[in-house]
Structure 1
Amino acid sequence: MDHDSTAVAPQDRGATAVEYALIASLIAGVVGGAIALLGQHVVGLFTSVPGF
């Protein structure tokens, strides 16, 4: 046999792209949530540094 077993079949490429998009959107949601939760706390830390 002369085919690469790691190659993605054409019918699977669409599904793989959707999976990567879902993972990317999940990561973006987690980052956005962390920024929303911690944003004001971090701003308070930087504004309370003496001398600036």
Structure 2
Amino acid sequence: MLRRDTEYVLTWNARNHSWLVRPIERDGNQIVQIGPGSSDLVDPAWSLGADLDD
């Protein structure tokens, strides 16, 4: 489920033809990924969109 108080980066996965969503936080001028490691696949963005209205 996407959280309203969290920033996300969307990445296009050409192999699977899907968007991947990764939670991030800002540390000065850098963007730091939080949650799964950068080599791990995360849930496709379309699978999380249904929970936005909650």
The alignment's TM-score, normalised by the length of structure 2, stands at 0.21
**Relative contact order higher in (CA < 8 Å, ≥ 6 apart):** 2
Say which one has the larger Rg. Answer: 1
Q: Name the structure with the higher helix share.
A: 1
The alignment's TM-score, normalised by the length of structure 1, stands at 0.21
